[in-house]
Amino acid sequence: MIYFATLLTKLAEKNRTIVSLDNPTVRGLAKEDPELFLQRYKPPVLIDEVQYAPELFIYIKMYVDKHKNNGDFWLTGSQTFQMMENITESLAGRVGIVRLNGLSNAEIQQTFHKEFVVDMEQLIKRRESSKAMDATEIFHRIYMGSMPRLYENTEVDLEQYYESYIETYITRDIKALTRVSDELLFLNFVRAVAARTASNVNFAELADEVGISAPTAKQWLSLLVTSGLVLLIQPFSNNALHRIIKTSRMYFMDTGLCAYLTGWNAPKALECGAMNGAFFETWVVTEIYKSYTNVGKNPPLYFYRDSNNKEIDLLLYQNGTLYPVEIKKAAQPKNATKNFAVLKKFADEQNGQKAFAGNGAVICLASDVIPIDRMNCYVPAWVV
């Protein structure tokens, strides 16, 4: 979250006060006399690590209700649970919440893309402005992950960085929660989830492997989702979908952290290993997800799988149309669109609207945007 404060500092107007509660003297003032604190650090103000002084929130609420000026307070914090709890209780309806994801591939390449859509013209434009990557380069990116620090300083040791990251996450953010009493058990749970990235959630299996109850597994996975470590994609469901499997699909948001937790110690080993397909799918899905959040839009992402084992990795549901996406670690995978036909049978009866099947994409290791047929095309993973 330090990068969020850094970003906002660069965006701040000249008249915006910037203060961090990491400073014990400043933090003491905020806790002991929050009213005087706001007199000293008058809005517009950026308050970093605001979770350290929950006493401030009621006074911020009073100020906002009185002055009604949007943007007077920019609040950042590195401890998600404490911060969100206080915001929910004290500032509900008065704040806009922005979550900072890891860097996207486009950001690392310093290119700007709009949200990912399955449209041939848009995909070609996207391809022309993207830097081509081969499989080795893609898996190097997957192995490194998306943490800004690793691209800011290439001398940082990845293993030490991720070890410190997970230790800080558990001891600072998780240990404070009474719902987690055993840190080692929770770490084993995080590793079990990482090993199942790009798979459907199965609480019974997770619970058995770690040695906890299924309700505890459900509760702990919720913590990972809330803290931004794990992304859940829901199955697309409407009145016309028969025999659909209604369980979420989970992805680790940072592939570098996922690789560390699952014991991969080199990009080449990851590329050739048993989990290469799962990591490739995870990277593509999270890149598509970030393409929407980075432009301030809610990602319209779903997946499909039925009891007959027919599966579509990703569905983009936009303007009443379902756009199927398959993800394959191959240059030109064969029969990748075979399950797209199931969408033609579906009609959404809710609110009198129907869901139509649109164009499809197979995101893979192709070198260019290449038509498969009149409805579908191959899309290079680095175009996402």
User: Which structural domain, as residue segments, surrounds residue 286?
Assistant: 105-147+229-383
Question: Which whole number is the average pLDDT over 14-40?
Answer: 93
**Residue 219: exposed, middle, or buried by beta-carbon count in 10 A (0-12, 13-18, 19+)?**
middle
**CA–CA distances in Å: residue 226 to residues 62, 91, 148:** 28, 18, 21
Q: For residues 13 and 199, which has the higher predicted lDDT (pLDDT)?
A: 199
**Same domain as 136, residue 239:** yes
Residue 258 zone, left/alpha/beta (φ > 0; ψ -120 to 50; rest): alpha
**Same domain as 113, residue 83:** no
**Same domain as 140, residue 80:** no
Q: Report the DSSP pairing between strands 376-380 and 360-364.
A: parallel
Closest CA to 255 of 230, 283, 229: 283
Question: Which whole number is the average pLDDT over 202-230?
Answer: 93
Q: Report the pLDDT value the prediction gives residue 85, as an integer from 0 to 100.
A: 61
Question: Which whole number is the average pLDDT over 228-232?
Answer: 94
What predicted TM-score, i.e. pTM, was given to this entire model? 0.85
Q: How far apart are CA 384 and CA 381, in angstroms?
A: 6
Q: For residues 289 and 3, which has the higher predicted lDDT (pLDDT)?
A: 289
160-199 pLDDT, tens digit each? 999 999 988 777 667 665 566 788 899 999 999 999 999 9
**Same domain as 143, residue 6:** no
Using 50, 70 and 90 to split pLDDT, how confident is the model at 10? confident
Q: Report the pLDDT value the prediction gives residue 161, as an integer from 0 to 100.
A: 94
Kindly tell me if the per-residue pLDDT of 331 is higher than 70. yes
Q: For residues 223 and 285, which has the higher predicted lDDT (pLDDT)?
A: 285
222 located within any domain: no
Total number of domains constituting the chain: 2
Q: How far apart are CA 213 and CA 215, in angstroms?
A: 5
**Same domain as 67, residue 22:** yes
Using 50, 70 and 90 to split pLDDT, how confident is the model at 14? confident
What percent of the chain stands above pLDDT 90? 62
- Of 166-175, 223-232, 337-346, which gets the smallest average pLDDT? 166-175
Q: Report the DSSP pairing between strands 17-20 and 45-48.
A: parallel
**Same domain as 284, residue 136:** yes
SS3 content of the chain, % helix, strand, coil (to 5): 45, 15, 40
**Same domain as 128, residue 38:** no
Kindly tell me if the per-residue pLDDT of 80 is higher than 70. no
Q: What is the mean pLDDT of the chain?
A: 87
115-144 pLDDT, tens digit each? 999 999 999 999 999 999 999 999 999 999
**Residue 361: exposed, middle, or buried by beta-carbon count in 10 A (0-12, 13-18, 19+)?**
buried
**Same domain as 129, residue 66:** no
Q: Report the pLDDT value the prediction gives residue 176, as an integer from 0 to 100.
A: 61
Using 50, 70 and 90 to split pLDDT, how confident is the model at 351? very low
**Same domain as 233, residue 297:** yes
Q: Report the pLDDT value the prediction gives residue 94, as an integer from 0 to 100.
A: 66
**Same domain as 348, residue 249:** yes
What percent of the chain stands above pLDDT 70? 86
Structure tokens at 98: 């922005």
**CA–CA distances in Å: residue 153 to residues 148, 149, 150, 161, 175:** 9, 6, 6, 11, 30
Closest CA to 32 of 62, 63, 58, 56: 56
Using 50, 70 and 90 to split pLDDT, how confident is the model at 158? very high
Question: Which whole number is the average pLDDT over 219-231?
Answer: 90
**Same domain as 78, residue 17:** yes
Kindly tell me if the per-residue pLDDT of 344 is higher than 60. yes
Kindly tell me if the per-residue pLDDT of 350 is higher than 50. no
293-317 pLDDT, tens digit each? 999 899 999 999 877 778 999 999 9
Owner of token pair 């893979």 = 364
